[in-house]
A and B are shown apart, each in its own frame.
Chain A
Amino acid sequence: MTELYSASGSKVHSHKADIFCRDETRVDWHSKALWLLREKRDRAAASIPEWEQLRQLGSELKLHTLTHLTDYLQQFEQQCLANGIVVHWAKDGQEHNQIVLNILATHQVKRLVKSKSMLTEECHMNPFLEQHGIEVVDTDLGERIIQLANMPPSHIVVPAIHMKKQEVGELFHQQLGTKAGESDPLYLTRAARAHLREKFLTADAAMTGVNMAIADQGAVVVCTNEGNADMGANLPKLQLHSMGIDKVVPNMDAAGVLLRTLARNATGQPITTYSSFYRGPQQGGEMHVIIVDNGRTEMMKDKILAESLKCIRCGGCLNTCPVYRRSGGYSYNYTIPGPIGIAVGAKEDSTHSIPWACTLCGSCTYVCPTKVPLDKIIAHHRRLKAENKTLPYGKSGYMPLVGRFMASDTMMNTSMSAARLALRVLPGSLLKPFSGAWGKYRELPVAPESSFATWYAKNRSR
């Protein structure tokens, strides 16, 4: 497993996927665990007759907000200020981390309890704060597990989905002193709860991500199942909330639409156990909201890519993706894996391979609660890679040849009849140069004697 997320070795998607696929039992288990979430999602979605209307509304309200983003962000800031919230703006991850550090340093914070935030992962905030002597404790159970194991998340909603309970048991035994060989989920959860309770009670500040920011209220919405965001935000006097500029929605009605689809699409729950609205500091406390761009404005300049900002991070596209389920979260060379990870991360992918970790089957697009056209975005990324001359897998070499080959009757007909003949008469071992990755896993096609065109000329021409 460490082979998958370590910094060394090739980061090309197919290479990492190949490593993941070597343990077929684990692939089957991983794929099944995530498919269970998809099935729960299907049942939850089917249970409300207006599901498709909600998706349409979700899509339209996010597009509307993105179209008027400056106005809504300014309104949000004004309302926050009126509520006594301090608002910060960060153009990138580095600026975000510095702002957070400054706030924490001012209050001599030694320990920060954090609830789930993909944005802080995107900004690589934890290592930055740790370098500056601040202990960051992830308090979402899944997040805490991977933090103890020193791993990045492999899924945006269930970050430790790649770990089996026995592996968690072993980890807890080493790190938290639970009984050796014990992997009962209830026992392990109780141990984590006791361990985290102590961290909550002694923390100097709390930080959360933001699911939605409500412009006309100056409020942020945080959804968790464990109540860890609330435990954090309500214990220490200092609370911080980091959000991307794409998180703002106009009002409570809009938030209501998204809240109805978010948890249903993520895990099949009608709603997360806790959906908390924070609109001001606690008595005698301080509340900070940090609004981060980090490439989002740039993304909005491209009409197709811009639609990926409609995403509400439910993870539904990961659960349905047949490739993600069989290649795992560490194969994408980006903090966010799966279809949405390709959509928002392809530009930064130095291997240029992640847009090809997809069959363009389109399932993600149909699952998405805000109708992000993921397959179209991924296809668009391929086109951008081709235009920038950064194609992977030797495509820039052979694609022009294929293009010319297909456009030439003589070339195609002569070589295809030669290929058919070869397939019919030659032993498999001699065909190796033609078969490559195809023949490694599958039998070569049984070749017909002639093409349809030849048959037609012989049998049907006047």
Chain B
Amino acid sequence: MKIALFIPCLVNQMMPDVAIATLNLLEKLGHQVIFPQGQTCCGQPMTNSGCFDEAKKTTLKLLNAFKGVECDAIVCPAASCLVAAKENFHEFDSSKEAEEVINKLYELTEFLHDIAPIDRFARPINKKISLQMSCHGIRMLNLATPTEEMGKQRFNKVEAVLGKIAGLDIVYPARIDECCGFGGTFAVDEGAVSAKMGKDKAQAHAATGAQYAVGFDPSCLLHLDGMIRRQKLPIETRHIAQIINDAL
């Protein structure tokens, strides 16, 4: 497939390794990958603060970077940014071209589970990982059944994708899908509560004895990483793209 990478500003500026791993793994899987120029922030910091006017310019700039780009899918290694991009594109542009972009947007896990599943991994990874089930991916992108929901057949796309990697021992922290407390500007506006949530989450991951806390949402991983190092916990963060890329 021909894939356009959507690399949100946080990943572009602060976690390029995640973007590189995403690019590499998609190429190893035989996809043709392009990186359209002119990408910027999805507007989430502003819209999450209620400031829609302030978000409009950057959102439309991001949307324009993908309009008319020839590709089968637009893939993003950040669930929260992807959700915000979808919502904000809808909010500010109701054109057919915008709709075409929106319909091609996929979060990486979603893409590797629903659209182009990986047949087999080349290399085993003999590691124990604790999965970070971030809120927006779970509750807004349906990457897994949230723990609040009952009855239905339960699913977990993250585990389904990573579970095929030989040697990988997947575990979960206590209170599996409780928020890590990042929440964008919440991390600063509500510093004390955010930090306590982050500390509890980091400790829960470390308590599993896993080497890595692995997630699909870079912003949560950034928060956990800052907390893990402050608390000096014996665990590190990794993005799923990095694990998958290593196994291919």
Contacts and interface: CB of A to CB of B under 8 A. Distances in A.
A binds B: yes
A265 to B, nearest CB: 10
Contacts of B179: 322, 359, 361, 363
A51 interface: yes
Contact of A360 (B14, B39, B183, B198): B183
A403 B46 contact: yes
B194 interface: yes
Contacts of B15: 448
B122 interface: no
Nearest to B60: A407
A360 B48 contact: yes
B139 A365 contact: yes
B196 A366 contact: no
A17 interface: yes
Given A14-B192, A363-B139, A451-B16, 7 more contacts: A13-B190, A386-B51, A403-B43, A438-B191, A440-B195, A442-B195, A451-B12
B206 to A, nearest CB: 15
B186 interface: yes
B59 to A, nearest CB: 9
A362 B192 contact: no
Interface in B177-203: 177-179, 181-183, 185-200
B135 A362 contact: yes
B28 to A, nearest CB: 15
B191 A450 contact: no
A447 interface: yes
A383 B139 contact: no
A445 B182 contact: no
A357 interface: yes
Interface stretch (A66-74, A114-122, A391-399): A391-399
A2 B225 CA distance: 36
Given A323-B190, A407-B40, A440-B191, A455 B16 contact: yes
A154 to B, nearest CB: 16
B229 A362 contact: no
Given A322-B197, A361-B139, A420-B13, A406 B41 contact: yes
Interface in B146-204: 146-152, 175, 177-179, 181-183, 185-200
A437 B193 CA distance: 11
Contacts of B200: 31
A455 B20 contact: yes
Interface of A: 13-14, 17-18, 21, 24, 27, 31, 35, 42, 45-46, 49-52, 320, 322-323, 326-327, 355-363, 365-367, 379, 381-387, 391-393, 395, 399-400, 402-404, 406-407, 409, 412, 416, 420, 436-438, 440-448, 450-453, 455-456, 460
Given A359-B183, A362-B135, A52 B150 contact: yes
B29 interface: no
Interface residues of B, number: 74
B48 A406 contact: no
A386 B193 contact: no
A358 B187 CA distance: 10
B185 to A, nearest CB: 8
B57 interface: yes
B188 A438 contact: yes
A52 B152 contact: yes
B89 to A, nearest CB: 15
Given A406-B58, A448-B16, A452-B11, A436 B178 contact: no
| Listed residue (A27, A46, A327, A442) with the most chain B CB atoms within 10 angstroms of its CB | A442
A356 B186 contact: yes
A327 B189 CA distance: 13
Given A51-B151, A445-B225, A452-B7, A400 B190 contact: no
A416 B190 contact: no
